[in-house]
Amino acid sequence: MSSRVARKIAVGVENRALLSTGLIILLGMFCVARSLDGQQPKNAKPPAAKDSSVGRVQPGYVPGLPTEFIEKLNARGCTIPQFDGDRGGNGAGSDAGPVRAPNNVIHGEFARKGQDDWAVLCSNGRTSTIVIFWGKDTVCPGSLARLDDAHYLKAGTDKKLRYWRSIRALGENELDDRAGIAGIKPLGHQGIDDRFVNKSSSFFYCNDGKWKIFPAKDSASE
């Protein structure tokens, strides 16, 4: 037998050995996967996505919201997440109570007295940003406080996950004493209070072309 023929035979044997080894490995991986699959309960369900616990409305369903703002929000792909943290108990605030008007859409004087501005909590499905529509040209940025929607999920008294983020317009007479806010009083206009209801609050005030932020604990009052 020539050396060339011997080398071909050796290579063929080596290739068959590698193929056999590969088949054995694949078979082992398949058996492990089947074994792990068999350990799952037959009635097991994938965990529900937290995002599904957040109720949202389309901008067009908000009464009084100007058409031009609805169009801009739709162009951004916005839906409006709904605060429903107080609907987990009994009585008028529960799921069995009357349907409430859409929330997290506010208007007020956020830049100067006499100027009518709007603020909307705009969600892309996972995070929400406060979007401001100015009544007149204003230096302060038109968006702020982009945060994860899931951060504001908390169980209600009915044990269901509820969404606890809520925005409101506040003036000086409605504000509590917050650290640092005395330095800009008297306030010439309203600000935006961004709340994790019953937990924390951040008051945003447009001043000298910038948003100043004043955090505090949130009270139960609306």
Terminal CA-CA length for the chain: 97
Q: Residue 222's pLDDT is what?
A: 52
Sign of CA dihedral 143, 76, 59, 217: negative
Beta strand pairing call for 117-123 and 127-133: antiparallel
The stretch 192-218 carries a mean pLDDT of: 96
Give the model's confidence band at 5: pLDDT under 50 very low, under 70 low, under 90 confident, else very high.
very low
Separation CA 54–CA 31 (nearest Å): 40
What tens digit of pLDDT does each residue of 158-176 get?
A: 889 999 999 999 999 988 8
Name which of 10-14, 24-28, 41-45, 217-221 the model is least confident about.
41-45
Q: Residue 158's pLDDT is what?
A: 87
Average pLDDT of the chain is 80
Q: Residue 86's pLDDT is what?
A: 75
What tens digit of pLDDT does each residue of 79-113 get?
A: 999 999 877 543 333 344 445 799 999 999 999 99
Percent with pLDDT over 90 in the chain: 59
Please tell me the pTM assigned to this model: 0.73
Separation CA 175–CA 212 (nearest Å): 15
Q: Quick check: 202 pLDDT over 50?
A: yes
Q: Specify the DSSP class assigned to residue 214.
A: E
Sign of CA dihedral 211, 214, 215, 219: negative
Give the model's confidence band at 151: pLDDT under 50 very low, under 70 low, under 90 confident, else very high.
very high
Q: Residue 9's pLDDT is what?
A: 43
Q: Residue 85's pLDDT is what?
A: 83
Q: Residue 220's pLDDT is what?
A: 58
Give the model's confidence band at 153: pLDDT under 50 very low, under 70 low, under 90 confident, else very high.
very high
The stretch 6-20 carries a mean pLDDT of: 48
Asked if residues 194 and 130 have their Cβ atoms less than 8 Å apart, the reply is yes
Q: Residue 176's pLDDT is what?
A: 81
Q: Residue 4's pLDDT is what?
A: 52
Q: Quick check: 219 pLDDT over 60?
A: yes
The stretch 55-84 carries a mean pLDDT of: 97
